[in-house]
Chains A and B, each alone.
Chain A
Amino acid sequence: MGKYVIRRIGQMVIVLFGATLILFACLFVLPGDPVGSLGGDKARDPAVIQQLRERYGLDKPLVEQYGTYVSNLVQGDLGEDYTQRREVTEVLSPKLGNTAKLAVAAIVIDVVLGILAGLIAALFRYSFWDVLVTLLTTMAIGFPSFVIGMILQSQFAVNLGWFPLISDGSFNSLIMPAFTLAIIDAALVARLMRGTMLEVLRADYVKTAIAKGLPRRTVLLKHVMRNSIIPVVTYIGISFGGLLGGALITEAIFNWDGIGFALVTAIQQQNNPIIVGVVTYGVAVFVLLNLLVDLLYAVLDPRIRLS
């Protein structure tokens, strides 16, 4: 197990390093000079621009800039942003918290809705509820998140007025974005849960458990649930990483003050340090969660760590 962990962490470091390299290479052949647009209309003076370039280290050779970027990154320093002249980490950390809040809310909805729906569908196979769940989850996969967001906004914000159209950070304004983010994943969780549960239900050890006269409750909780939840846990782990990335659209629709919204704003302002910061966060979180899921999987299934 120790060897496996070390190997996976080694791979993760390579991935992170490569990702920053791609990111850096892309952003420094960017058209348009961020400093040129920085000073607004007044600061066209070449001397001022030169001063600004020096201030942000844009006059140094690219290799040196990349070295500085990586060494700063390792120390958790993402540089200074162009518009507000504040530390990127300082600008982004409250937003990161907001995005995490949204992602956690979405995961809770995923788990509750997805597992419950999958469970009911599997236990009462071919019943009305099963067909309903299968139909809804099949349809939901075709809906892009912005369409779901628009439907929720027009129905529950404009028509019914239950929730605010635009988020103000309150709990009430969290509900619609969280559902927007969660619905597609909840559908996938429900399908996965139903599928694995049907498989587990006809496994030999379940038949044995029933045959030896264990109560139905015990069989369901100890044999069926425990085994059918493993793929679901893995899936949720992976999708949590995706949620942080996918929050982009949802946050843009609801003006939710997270890193996705920050990214969209930063793109409009050509605010490179923020863009780099958000993408770095996104990639790092995604890679870390994948590592955790892999390790969790290796703990649950010894065949993986031995191969």
Chain B
Amino acid sequence: MTELTKSDQGPDAATAQSAVANNTAEPAPARITQWGEIRHRFMANRLAVVGLVLVALLFAIAAAAPLIATHDPYAQDLTNTLADPSGDHWFGTDALGRDQFSRIIYGSRIAVVVGLASIFLACLIGCVLGALSGYFGKAIDSAIMRVADIFFAFPLLIGAIVIILVMGRGVLPVIISLGVFSWATVARLLRSSILSVREMDYVTAARALGAGTSRIILRHIMPNSIAAVMSYVSFSVGTAVVAEASLSFLGIGVSPEVPEWGNMISSARDFLGVKDFLWAYPSAAIVLTVLGFVFVGDGLRDALDPKLR
């Protein structure tokens, strides 16, 4: 690891982010754990820290939504519709007089739940199939990779729409549809990473010591291959949040009365150019969420393997 850190400090190692924010890592202490090293590199990346703060903020808001919201997100007030932002309604009210601020706060819950659950599902399928594929190779590998190719051939939204047509609208169908059409990349990443780790000496050593297949995969191969998957996971949570909002925006995601950012933006289309605050605030919520996950993903990628840049 120390060797990698040295090359990291070279004047040539700067990447796209470094122009905006980069503190080169301080010289590593003599002995340091691998994860300590990774955390150190991650925290030295200013953009990654900004991302981490945004993501933490999102989780906190989603968890404490009832405490933060100033109104009931479902409560309609037909005497006070389309009100401009004010002291009582910080982000104004929508066409049914519902408080926009509270709806945005509650909307974070859908974003968190769908983003995490769908990518968790994708990781579950992708890691199992990718590990099998990479470790056993040959016929199993080709079979699994052809199936992955098939799922990879569907653009995410189009694939998701097909599943939603079968299952109907709602949070669960959205989660499943996004997970089912996201696992292929996880499987591919893990497979190729395992292929390069599989022939390492320590794996041969473990095998020579009589370790079983599952022990070799779980204890020796996975911890060293998971790096490739981790930064992808962070990116794809952001992608899943956008995809979920896009589906709701198209009117095939979660039901329209649910406080959800895509829904809010979609219903604001009727007041475009007149009441722009109706879509500007939920849009800002989406953008900050996605940027948070992208920055964390960028930071993780650079921290986990400086060579990759």
Chain A interface (Cβ < 8 Å from any Cβ of B):
11, 14-16, 18-19, 22-23, 26-27, 29-31, 125-126, 130-131, 134-135, 137-139, 141-147, 150-151, 153-154, 157-159, 165, 191, 194-195, 202, 241-242, 244-246, 248-249, 252, 263-264, 267-268, 275, 278-279, 282-283, 286-287, 290
Main secondary structure of the interface of A (DSSP, over half): helix
| Besides the known contacts A31-B168, A150-B268, 19 further A-B residue pairs in the complex with CB atoms under 8 A apart | A14-B150, A18-B146, A26-B163, A26-B166, A126-B19, A138-B20, A138-B291, A142-B286, A144-B242, A147-B265, A147-B279, A150-B269, A154-B276, A159-B273, A165-B272, A242-B155, A246-B157, A267-B161, A279-B162
Residues of A within 8 A of B286 (CB): 142, 144, 147
Tell yes or no: B165 within 8 A of A by CB: yes
Evaluate contact between B291 and A142: CB separation under 8 angstroms: yes
Evaluate contact between A267 and B20: CB separation under 8 angstroms: no
A28 to chain B, nearest CB (A): 9
The chain B residue sitting closest to A147, CB to CB, is: B283
Alpha-carbon distance between A147 and B252 when the two chains are bound, in angstroms: 17
The chain B residue sitting closest to A275, CB to CB, is: B165
Most A CB within 10 A of own CB, among B12, B155, B272 = B155
The chain B residue sitting closest to A130, CB to CB, is: B19
Residues of A within 8 A of B47 (CB): 138
Evaluate contact between B146 and A14: CB separation under 8 angstroms: yes
B98 to chain A, nearest CB (A): 20
Evaluate contact between A249 and B168: CB separation under 8 angstroms: no
Alpha-carbon distance between A165 and B246 when the two chains are bound, in angstroms: 20
Residues of B in contact (CB 8 Å), total 48
User: Could you name 11 residue pairs across A and B whose Cβ atoms are closer than 8 Å?
Assistant: A11-B149, A19-B153, A26-B162, A27-B166, A134-B19, A138-B20, A146-B245, A147-B265, A245-B155, A248-B250, A283-B158
List 8 A-B pairs, minimum CB-CB distance, nearest first: A158-B273, A245-B155, A18-B150, A142-B291, A142-B290, A147-B283, A142-B287, A144-B242
Evaluate contact between B162 and A246: CB separation under 8 angstroms: no
Evaluate contact between B246 and A249: CB separation under 8 angstroms: yes
The chain B residue sitting closest to A195, CB to CB, is: B16
Residues of B within 8 A of A263 (CB): 158, 161
User: Interface digits, B158-196 against A, CB 8 Å rule (1 contact, 0 not)?
Assistant: 100111011010000000000000000000000000000
Evaluate contact between B158 and A282: CB separation under 8 angstroms: yes
Residues of B within 8 A of A278 (CB): 158
Chain B interface (Cβ < 8 Å from any Cβ of A):
12, 15-17, 19-20, 47, 146-147, 149-151, 153-158, 161-163, 165-166, 168, 238, 242, 245-246, 249-252, 262, 265, 268-269, 272-274, 276, 279, 283, 286-288, 290-291, 294
A295 to chain B, nearest CB (A): 16
Residues of A within 8 A of B251 (CB): 268
Alpha-carbon distance between A190 and B150 when the two chains are bound, in angstroms: 30
Q: Which of A22, A202, A248 contacts B157, CB < 8 Å?
A: A248
**A29 with B154, Cβ < 8 A, contacts A11-B146, A144-B245 known:** no
Evaluate contact between A248 and B149: CB separation under 8 angstroms: no
Most B CB within 10 A of own CB, among A29, A131, A146 = A146
B235 to chain A, nearest CB (A): 10
Residues of A within 8 A of B150 (CB): 14-15, 18-19, 22
Alpha-carbon distance between A118 and B163 when the two chains are bound, in angstroms: 38
Most A CB within 10 A of own CB, among B153, B163, B251, B273 = B153
**A135 with B20, Cβ < 8 A, contacts A147-B287, A153-B272 known:** yes
Main secondary structure of the interface of B (DSSP, over half): helix
Evaluate contact between A22 and B162: CB separation under 8 angstroms: yes
Evaluate contact between A249 and B157: CB separation under 8 angstroms: yes
Residues of A within 8 A of B153 (CB): 15-16, 19, 283, 286-287, 290
Residues of A within 8 A of B288 (CB): 142
Alpha-carbon distance between A275 and B161 when the two chains are bound, in angstroms: 10
Evaluate contact between A141 and B290: CB separation under 8 angstroms: yes
Most B CB within 10 A of own CB, among A241, A244, A252 = A252
**A248 with B158, Cβ < 8 A, contacts A125-B19, A154-B276 known:** yes
A287 to chain B, nearest CB (A): 5
Q: Which of B151, B158, B265, B268 contacts A279, CB < 8 Å?
A: B158
The chain A residue sitting closest to B268, CB to CB, is: A150
B244 to chain A, nearest CB (A): 10
The chain A residue sitting closest to B249, CB to CB, is: A146
A193 to chain B, nearest CB (A): 11
The chain A residue sitting closest to B235, CB to CB, is: A141
Evaluate contact between A14 and B20: CB separation under 8 angstroms: no
Most A CB within 10 A of own CB, among B250, B272, B274, B288 = B250
Q: Which of A15, A267, A282 contacts B155, CB < 8 Å?
A: A282
Q: Which of A19, A30, A150, A165 contacts B165, CB < 8 Å?
A: A30
Residues of B within 8 A of A242 (CB): 155
Most A CB within 10 A of own CB, among B20, B156, B252, B273 = B273
A303 to chain B, nearest CB (A): 15
Alpha-carbon distance between A264 and B165 when the two chains are bound, in angstroms: 12
A182 to chain B, nearest CB (A): 17
B270 to chain A, nearest CB (A): 12
B17 to chain A, nearest CB (A): 7
Evaluate contact between B162 and A146: CB separation under 8 angstroms: no
Residues of A within 8 A of B252 (CB): 267
